[in-house]
């Protein structure tokens, strides 16, 4: 692995020396079709700049640079999960690449189970806040002040202005958009019914195995964050259907059809909002 973030950025820049993305996108399980919206893509496997390839089906481990609605974007197609044994430092590098290539905002998507029976598979939920039940914290360890501060506020982790924009774009496009709190576990196991009942009492609306570490790293390095949970199932114990990764991929594609319409419009909106 390159010894520093600067070195990683230099190796990526060799592929696209004059490309400066404005917005980052992280794609969750089953949401790959969003990447097809990127025009004139330059695709680089994570391995080419010293990171590992993820091991989870449906996660390709490709960094893609190109345009969506004329806004330059950098897309992580395939995330690295901590449950795969990914080191915090590796995850930090992957997310910081988005910031250090020049983006100021990131749209983080992730498959999730819904704790609200009225919000079923195929729905999308704007994440308004989160509960972190992942062990440890990706920022634990020495802090590099040139990247971000030691102590990071997560009070408005999900950017209130962008959230308002997302709501108005969704309503204009008549795409139903739920709002809620995302609870993150390490995984890789799905939850027990008792855990789901407990998470409901804690205030969770959706549960998944990702998003939160990335949000923490993104906020630390100053990226403005929008989070969207792609609901692929009702959480364990809330329906007769079994929760499986295959189901996640299948229903991920269903939610992707909505995201493929919503996210490009939203990116156009925030592209002009941030950069004029
Ligand atoms: N639990 C955890 N992660 C998930 C789920 C779930 O029900 N669905 C998709 N990712």
Q: What average pLDDT does range 138-160 have in this prediction?
A: 96
In this structure, the chain runs to a length of 276
Residue 62 tokens read as 């490709």
Would you say the CB of residue 229 lies under 6 angstroms from ligand 1?
no
- Full-model pTM: 0.96
Query: In angstroms, what is the span from residue 41 Cα to ligand 1's centroid?
Result: 30
> Is-catalytic flag, 173?
no
Helix (H) or strand (E) holding 184: strand 178-184
The b-or-e profile of 242-274 (16+ CB within 10 A means b, else e) is ebebebbbebbbbbbebbebbbbbbbbbbbeeb
Residue with the smallest CA separation from ligand 1 atom 9 is 112
Would you say the CB of residue 206 lies under 6 angstroms from ligand 1?
no
**Probe residue for ligand 1, chosen from 29, 180, 182, 190 as the CB with the greatest number of ligand atoms within 8 Å:** 190
Identify the band that residue 189 occupies on the pLDDT scale cut at 50, 70 and 90: very high
Q: What average pLDDT does range 138-147 have in this prediction?
A: 95
Q: What average pLDDT does range 21-41 have in this prediction?
A: 91
> Is-catalytic flag, 239?
no
Catalytic residue among 59, 67, 178, 220: 59
Query: In angstroms, what is the span from residue 160 Cα to ligand 1's centroid?
Result: 25
pLDDT on residue 54: 74
Write the CATH number for 212. 3.40.50.1580
Q: Cβ contacts of residue 93 below 8 Å, gap of 6+?
A: 1, 5, 8, 51
The total of structural domains in the chain comes to 1
Predicted confidence (pLDDT) per residue in 102-142, tens digit: 999 999 999 999 999 999 999 999 999 999 999 999 999 99
Domain of residue 132 covers 5-275
């Amino acid at each position: 692995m390159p010894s520093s973030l600067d070195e990683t950025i230099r190796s990526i820049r060799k592929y696209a020396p004059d490309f400066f993305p404005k917005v980052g996108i992280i794609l969750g399980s089953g949401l790959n079709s969003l990447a097809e919206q990127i025009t004139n893509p330059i695709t680089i496997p994570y391995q080419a700049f010293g990171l590992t390839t993820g091991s989870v089906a449906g996660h390709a481990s490709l960094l893609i640079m190109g345009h969506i609605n004329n806004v330059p974007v950098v897309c992580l197609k395939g995330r690295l999960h901590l449950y795969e044994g990914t080191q915090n430092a590796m995850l930090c590098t992957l997310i910081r690449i988005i910031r250090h290539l020049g983006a100021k905002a990131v749209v983080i998507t992730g498959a999730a189970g819904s704790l609200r029976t009225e919000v079923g598979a195929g729905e999308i939920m704007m994440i308004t806040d989160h509960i972190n039940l992942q062990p440890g914290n990706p920022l634990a360890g020495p802090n590099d002040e040139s990247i971000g501060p030691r102590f990071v506020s997560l009070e408005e982790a999900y950017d209130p202005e962008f959230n308002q924009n997302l709501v108005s774009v969704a309503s204009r496009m008549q795409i139903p958009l739920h709002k809620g709190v995302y609870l993150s576990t390490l995984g890789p196991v799905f939850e027990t019914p008792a855990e789901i009942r407990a998470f409901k009492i804690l205030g969770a609306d959706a549960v998944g195995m990702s998003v939160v570490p990335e949000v923490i790293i993104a906020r630390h390095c100053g990226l403005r964050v929008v989070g969207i949970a792609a609901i692929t199932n009702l959480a364990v114990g809330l329906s007769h259907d079994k929760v499986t990764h295959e189901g996640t991929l299948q229903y991920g594609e269903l939610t992707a059809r909505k995201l493929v319409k919503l996210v490009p419009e939203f990116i156009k909106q925030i592209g002009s909002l941030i950069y004029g």
